[in-house]
Chain A
Amino acid sequence: GQQVMQIPQYQHVQEGEDFTTYCNSSTTLSNIQWYKQRPGGHPVFLIQLVKSGEVKKQKRLTFQFGEAKKNSSLHITATQTTDVGTYFCAAGKSTFGDGTTLTVKP
């Protein structure tokens, strides 16, 4: 079945540094969603991307969908301690990546 691979698995940054997580698929995706899960919490929807080459921004977060619709990225500018958590991409029939866990050192 469809699989999405996320890299890196873990990312440790100093507060104020940027962070990027990538989601890759071997097949063309109709859409992709991003979720954030705080430690001990449940996944919370961030955004959905549908169009080839689409770029969406939410404050310090920038989401991109590749031109071939096979990859996506989430970039956080100037991380803050509130950004801590695991970021998941999801595609197709509710296929979730394994997530990228972000820790931020104050």
Chain B
Amino acid sequence: DAGITQSPRYKITETGRQVTLMCHQTWSHSYMFWYRQDLGHGLRLIYYSAAADITDKGEVPDGYVVSRSKTENFPLTLESATRSQTSVYFCASSLQGLADQYGEQFFGPGTRLTVL
């Protein structure tokens, strides 16, 4: 009954380092999403994936890379971390995706990332 998990839950890194945030879901949902949430703001979509090997950019993709070799995993990589990427990152999954009508999104617990 794991659902959707994220690791690490907390991460401190330095400017310029590469960081990978992991997301794993056990429901076999087709769609997966990465969001960032900055203090006092809503969620902004970074990347999403409709299925394994299919990914697409969201609202704020610059500086991030994703991959989805397996349905259950959707890692997010910050190639060269910057201070502006300090944020809380949420992964989510859904049975349906970005069509006219899409299903509820199930969110992971989040990763709090600090870039020094």
Contact B101 A96 (CB under 8 A): no
CA distance A104 to B108 in the complex (A): 26
Name B's interface SS: loop
CA distance A30 to B45 in the complex (A): 19
A63 to chain B minimum Cβ distance, whole angstroms, is: 14
Residue among B41, B48, B101, B104 making CB contact with A45, cutoff 8 Å: B104
Tally of contact residues, B, Cβ under 8 A: 25
Chain A residue at minimum C-beta to C-beta distance from B41: A98
CA distance A42 to B100 in the complex (A): 25
Contact B48 A94 (CB under 8 A): yes
Residue among A41, A48, A97 making CB contact with B42, cutoff 8 Å: A97
Chain A residue at minimum C-beta to C-beta distance from B109: A42
A33 to chain B minimum Cβ distance, whole angstroms, is: 7
Per-position binary interface string of chain B over residues 90-116, scored 1 when its CB falls under 8 Å from any chain A CB and 0 otherwise: 101000001011111111111000000
**A residues whose Cβ falls under 8 Å from a Cβ of B:** 1, 6, 30-31, 33, 41-45, 48, 50, 88, 90, 93-99
**B residues whose Cβ falls under 8 Å from a Cβ of A:** 33, 35, 40-45, 48, 58-59, 90, 92, 98, 100-110
